[in-house]
Structure 1
């Protein structure tokens, strides 16, 4: 067998075999670690996006509170102008934040939508029940009183966002 012309090749192959196995294992381990790193970064990215979504929607809900809405815009506006501008502002901000629903549960998103709709309904109801010659200050006062007479659905939704954020993260 030593006289065989293939002996040097067989000897070289046997000497290289452990190195080939070692290199193969190293490459597969490296690929596996890189895949784990990519998965970890993906999860971390989703978690950061989810936290950002909770922050943005909490801010949106805070801005929806009537106490914050009555401080917007010039006091010289007529009530119908104020209602138009507030409704436009709320809808624009809602549209801006609509993509955040991807990171929330269906129920939590539904609560955010219900808060927006409830505030808009309260604004319109207040305006419709107001006398023709009422001032903007009177409208704002009645609007605040009407909100205080209802349950605080905005605070409840913010609390649900906090709880869900703690559970998910």
Structure 2
């Protein structure tokens, strides 16, 4: 009878010790899994991430803008654009006013004469975007590049140098 009482506490100690190791193992596996899934986010935000492989190819394929003298460029302010975004419920809209930097006065005149084409191209581009596609800084910079490309297609060359957002409201 005394032997039975001595053996019972020993088996309880083994179960408690084994349970502690199982809990430690589960916690460690959880930390490893969290680190695995969090690494891409940490890499992109803190370390700057890597540029996509095709990013250098795209910049090399694009024709370089003409080297305009600082005094030669002109800014043309376009009328405000108000468009519905392509969100599923259709309740978000974008109000955007932008100025376009052109290479010279002739380009500014051509841009003014092509205002209907310019507005059409920009409205189509903006209305195809969703809120999530416009929420980050990188997305806004990409939108600027897309607008420059579209305007240069309309103008027939590379007379559009840059686009500046002077007002941007997403609601």
* Bucket of the pairwise TM-score, normalised by the shorter protein: 0.3 to 0.5
Bigger helix fraction: 1
Q: What is the TM-score of this pair, normalised by structure 2?
A: 0.42
Q: What is the TM-score of this pair, normalised by structure 1?
A: 0.43
Whose radius of gyration is greater, 1 or 2? 1
